[in-house]
Amino acid sequence: MTDAAQQASRPRWMRCTLILVAGIPLVVAGFVLGYLTCGVVQWQRGTAAEYHTARTIRDITDFVESNSRWPSSWQDLGTAPWEGVVVNWSIDLSACDRHDIMTSITPETGRYRTYPHAELDLNRLWLLVQEFRGSPHEERSN
């Protein structure tokens, strides 16, 4: 290789090295930023689902108190389905136990992160169910 050919290949080699050295951290930073963004979006969806779940628990508690029965659908509640809320519409108030009530209304994520009163609100619903059955202090077990 001649001197001129070596000098011409050095800048190309140096440019490639510079692009790799500068590009790899940018790619990694892009992946990290994307990962963090997905986490924030998931957190926001979970939070919205928990707010909707809280509202649904209150609506079902009001419905049970007024009608002495469990609603069979969103239509019974008079509302459109809340996004991110899972409801067991097949609860039989005369045969259910505390576990059935405590797991009957949940966010689709399956757990509560930002709704600290979920257990209290569901427990209130359970106490209401017991009142209708005439046994306020008895807890049935399977």
- Give pLDDT tens digits along the chain (142 positions): 566 655 555 677 777 787 777 778 877 888 878 877 776 666 666 577 888 899 999 999 999 999 989 999 999 998 888 888 999 999 999 889 999 999 999 988 877 777 778 889 999 999 999 888 775 444 444 4
Residue 70, SS3? coil
Query: Does 2 reside within a domain?
Result: no
Query: Does 80 reside within a domain?
Result: yes
Query: Does 122 reside within a domain?
Result: yes
| Percent of the chain whose predicted confidence (pLDDT) is above 90 | 35
Query: Does 142 reside within a domain?
Result: no
Residue 79, SS3? coil
Q: How far apart are CA 98 and CA 127, in angstroms?
A: 9
Which residue segment(s) compose the domain that 110 sits in?
7-133
Q: Which residues pair with residue 85 across a beta bridge? A: 107
Q: 102 with 125: CB under 8 angstroms?
A: no
